[in-house]
Homo-oligomer: A and B are copies of this chain.
Amino acid sequence: MSKDKRRGLIIVNTGNGKGKTTAALGTAFRAAGQGFNIMIIQFIKGSWKYGELEAAKKFDNLTITPMGKGFIKLGAAEPEAADCRLAEETWSACEQAILSGDYDLVVCDEVNYALSYKLLPVQRVIETLQKRPSYVHVILTGRDAPPEIVELADLVTEMREIKHPYQTGISAQRGIEF
In the complex, the answer to whether B150 meets A157 with C-beta atoms within 8 Å is no
Main secondary structure of the interface of A (DSSP, over half): mixed
Contacts of A173 in B (CB 8 A): 6-9, 137
Contacts of A6 in B (CB 8 A): 173-174
Instruction: Please tell me which one of the listed residues B36, B55, B56, B157 contacts residue A19 in the complex, with CB atoms under 8 A apart.
Output: B157
In the complex, the answer to whether B159 meets A153 with C-beta atoms within 8 Å is no
Say whether A75 faces chain B, with CB atoms less than 8 Å apart: no
In the complex, the answer to whether A155 meets B52 with C-beta atoms within 8 Å is no
Say whether A81 faces chain B, with CB atoms less than 8 Å apart: no
In the complex, the answer to whether B19 meets A174 with C-beta atoms within 8 Å is no
Q: Mark A37-52, 1 if CB is under 8 A from B, else 0.
A: 0000000000001111
CB interface residues, A 128-178, toward B, < 8 Å: 137, 150, 153-165, 168, 170-171, 173-176, 178
Contacts of A25 in B (CB 8 A): 26, 29-30
25 contacts between A and B (CB under 8 A): A6-B173, A6-B174, A11-B176, A15-B160, A17-B158, A19-B157, A21-B26, A22-B26, A25-B29, A26-B26, A29-B29, A29-B51, A32-B55, A33-B56, A34-B50, A34-B174, A35-B175, A36-B175, A105-B176, A137-B173, A137-B175, A156-B162, A156-B163, A157-B161, A160-B160
